[in-house]
Amino acid sequence: MLNRLVLAFLICSLAASGCKQADQTPCTSSAVTAKAPPTEVATLKQYIDANKIAATADDRGFYYSIQSPGTGAKPTVCSNVTVNYSGKLTDNSTFDSGNGVSFGLNQLIIGWQEGIPLVAPGGSITLYLPPSLAYGSAAQNGIPANSILIFKIDLLKVN
């Protein structure tokens, strides 16, 4: 019975992945240049200042703090990476986390596409993202619309 369930899952997974055109398109982007609107940047800066967070402002509108830069070649938006991460809201509630999870950066929110390439494998970074570089005005599983998001990310490797 278990073997049939595993086989059915594999068949469904293969069938579903065969229909994804986006995953089959080669990534040609070399850098992300999206910028957050000034109002979001000002709100994020207020949060950073009010909580006395030591973070660097990026010209694209997010803030970051590098705990460890890592070593080796940094990923690009076209890279597939393996990370440990946790995502929190400004009230410190955790909405998501994962360990040893692999992603294609070009399939993730813009803030990750812009922030993760700031560190190399073995590096650790905290990203403070305004809504437009995260999920914007769309509410997502446990994330209210227009939320500032905080991600602690350990870049384990570039695959």
pLDDT tens digits for 37-83? Answer: 999 999 999 999 999 999 999 999 999 999 999 999 999 999 999 99
> For 18-38, what is each residue's pLDDT tens digit?
333 344 567 766 667 789 999
Predicted local confidence at residue 69, as pLDDT: 98
Q: Cα 81 vs. chain centroid, distance in angstroms?
A: 11
Predicted local confidence at residue 47, as pLDDT: 98
**Architecture of the 34-158 domain:** Roll (3.10)
Is the pLDDT at 8 greater than 90? The verdict is: no
Pair of tokens at residue 33: 């240049």
Q: What gap in Å lies between CA 2 and CA 6, rounded to an integer?
A: 6
Q: In whole numbers, what is the pLDDT of the chain averaged over residues?
A: 86
pLDDT above 90 as % of the chain: 77
Which among 151, 126, 128, 147 has a CA at the least distance from the CA of 136?
A: 147
Contacts with 70 (C-beta within 8 Å, 6 or more apart), sequence order:
119, 120, 121, 122, 123, 124, 155
The residue among 77 and 16 whose pLDDT is bigger is 77
> For 94-106, what is each residue's pLDDT tens digit?
999 999 999 999 9
Is the pLDDT at 16 greater than 60? The verdict is: no
Predicted local confidence at residue 25, as pLDDT: 60
C-alpha distance across the termini of the chain, in Å? 35
Q: Cα 110 vs. chain centroid, distance in angstroms?
A: 7
Predicted local confidence at residue 29, as pLDDT: 64
Is the pLDDT at 151 greater than 80? The verdict is: yes
Average pLDDT over residues 155-159: 97
Predicted local confidence at residue 156, as pLDDT: 98
H helix or E strand, kind and range, residue 150: strand 149-158
Write the single-letter amino acid at 48.
I
Q: What gap in Å lies between CA 23 and CA 29, rounded to an integer?
A: 14
